[in-house]
């Protein structure tokens, strides 16, 4: 009996054990299914999120492509505008260049016409003008009716060793050697007598004379200019045999006041001893064609200078060149 009770108890225990395992298995199964369901739901949500992200990404890509396309269109339009601007600028530049060239050509033609007109005015009436045949002769005479050959330049110009009224280097310091040597002797003689002279203007080229003469014309008018300045080609300064002198007493100017100074009086009385004459003496304008210039010394050689000085005549009168 006791054994039967033990067997019954053992069966009961086994039954209970089997029933417990089945319940745990069912619970495990239910948990797995729940987890599976939850995972599947999460996966679906993830898929939806991914899908939404893909759609957003696609929309962004489409927007970027649209923006890129618009940028390309804008860039193309900008390039076209730039090209148009370049063409417009280039066309305008070409037009401006063409206008400038035409304006420059017109100005050049006008300048040439003015120069030709000015040259014609400078020449004056050449119908009774003689071109000297001996421009390098010491006693050559140039005046309003006698001119130097075109393009004449005296030979071997040199600077005399005398004081000048200016310091800078200039062609007007020069003279022909024979005249330069004589001027040095004249200045030395004046210095020995206590007279201080200063040289102002010697050689003057044809082109320089053009500028000087035109300046006088502009300030005084043609008629008055011809009384104080030579027409280009007719100037004694171009021979290299003339020199203008002055003194501190007249502020180093070339003025008729020089006549009344100690220096001016010494020059008038002694220049001929050194081969110079006062080329345009007082009261002789109708013969020489120029106003009185007590400062204008012309080298002509000691013998001829002495004869002309003692005669009281002008060069034209003494040499029989008066009409």
For 192-224, the pLDDT digits (tens) are 999 999 999 999 999 999 999 999 999 999 999
Q: Which of 123, 140, 156 is the last residue of a domain?
A: 123
Please indicate, yes or no, whether residues 137 and 258 belong to a single structural domain of this protein: yes
Total residue count of the chain as it appears in this document: 323
212 part of a folded domain? yes
241 part of a folded domain? yes
pTM over 0.85: no
Please indicate, yes or no, whether residues 102 and 161 belong to a single structural domain of this protein: no
261 part of a folded domain? yes
Please indicate, yes or no, whether residues 167 and 209 belong to a single structural domain of this protein: yes
Structure tokens at 222: 């043609």
Quick one: average pLDDT of 289-316? 97
243 part of a folded domain? yes
CA distance 188 to 273: 12
The mean predicted confidence, pLDDT, of the chain is 78
191 part of a folded domain? yes
- For the cut 50, the answer to whether the pLDDT of residue 138 exceeds it is yes
Please indicate, yes or no, whether residues 174 and 238 belong to a single structural domain of this protein: yes
Q: Which domain does 13 fall in, by range?
A: 1-123
Instruction: Give the confidence band of 86 by pLDDT, cuts at 50, 70, 90.
Output: very low
119 part of a folded domain? yes
CATH of the domain at 173: 3.30.1380.10
* Residues that are catalytic: 293
Structure tokens at 303: 């013998």
323 part of a folded domain? no
Please indicate, yes or no, whether residues 109 and 182 belong to a single structural domain of this protein: no
Please indicate, yes or no, whether residues 88 and 210 belong to a single structural domain of this protein: no
Consecutive H or E run containing 296: strand 293-299
CA distance 119 to 106: 20
Indicate the number of domains in the chain: 2
Q: Which of 123, 152, 185 is the last residue of a domain?
A: 123
Cβ contact 276:182 at 8 Å: yes
- For the cut 50, the answer to whether the pLDDT of residue 125 exceeds it is yes
- For the cut 80, the answer to whether the pLDDT of residue 25 exceeds it is no
- For the cut 70, the answer to whether the pLDDT of residue 113 exceeds it is no
Please indicate, yes or no, whether residues 63 and 193 belong to a single structural domain of this protein: no
CA distance 68 to 281: 97
Q: Which of 123, 153, 170 is the last residue of a domain?
A: 123
**Picking from 11-15, 166-170, 177-181, 308-312, which range would have the lowest pLDDT averaged per residue?**
11-15
Please indicate, yes or no, whether residues 156 and 251 belong to a single structural domain of this protein: yes
CA distance 183 to 258: 18
Please indicate, yes or no, whether residues 238 and 168 belong to a single structural domain of this protein: yes
> What's 130's DSSP letter?
E
CB atoms within 10 A of CB 276: 28
Please indicate, yes or no, whether residues 158 and 255 belong to a single structural domain of this protein: yes
Please indicate, yes or no, whether residues 76 and 187 belong to a single structural domain of this protein: no
Buried b (16+ CB within 10 A) or exposed e, 259-274: bebebbebbbebbbeb
């Amino acid at each position: 009996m006791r054994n039967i009770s033990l067997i019954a108890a053992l069966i009961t225990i086994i039954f209970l054990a089997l029933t417990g395992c089945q319940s745990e298995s069912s619970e495990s199964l239910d948990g797995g299914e729940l987890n599976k369901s939850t995972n599947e739901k999460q996966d679906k949500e993830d898929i939806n999120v991914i899908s939404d992200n893909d759609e957003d990404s696609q929309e962004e890509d489409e927007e970027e492509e649209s923006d890129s396309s618009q940028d390309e269109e804008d860039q193309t339009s900008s390039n076209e505008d730039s090209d148009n601007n370049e063409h417009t600028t280039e066309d305008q530049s070409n037009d401006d260049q063409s206008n400038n060239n035409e304006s420059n050509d017109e100005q050049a033609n006008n300048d040439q016409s003015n120069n030709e007109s000015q040259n014609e005015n400078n020449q004056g009436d050449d119908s009774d003008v003689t071109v000297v045949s001996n421009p390098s002769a010491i006693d050559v005479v140039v005046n309003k009716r006698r001119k130097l050959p075109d393009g004449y330049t005296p030979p071997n110009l040199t600077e005399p060793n005398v004081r000048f009224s200016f310091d800078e280097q200039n062609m007007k310091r020069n003279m022909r050697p024979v005249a330069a040597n004589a001027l040095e002797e004249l200045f030395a003689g004046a210095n020995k007598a206590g007279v201080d002279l200063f040289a102002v203007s010697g050689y003057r080229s044809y082109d320089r004379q053009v500028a000087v003469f035109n300046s006088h014309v502009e300030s005084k008018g043609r008629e008055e200019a011809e009384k104080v300045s030579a027409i280009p080609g007719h100037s004694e300064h171009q021979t290299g045999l003339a020199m203008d002198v002055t003194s501190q007493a007249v502020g180093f100017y070339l003025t008729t006041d020089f006549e009344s100074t100690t220096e001016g009086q010494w020059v008038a009385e002694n220049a001929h001893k050194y081969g110079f004459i006062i080329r345009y003496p007082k009261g002789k304008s109708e013969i020489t064609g120029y106003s009185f210039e007590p400062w204008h010394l012309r080298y002509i050689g000691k013998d001829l200078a002495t004869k002309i000085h003692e005669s009281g005549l002008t060069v034209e009168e003494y040499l029989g060149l008066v009409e």
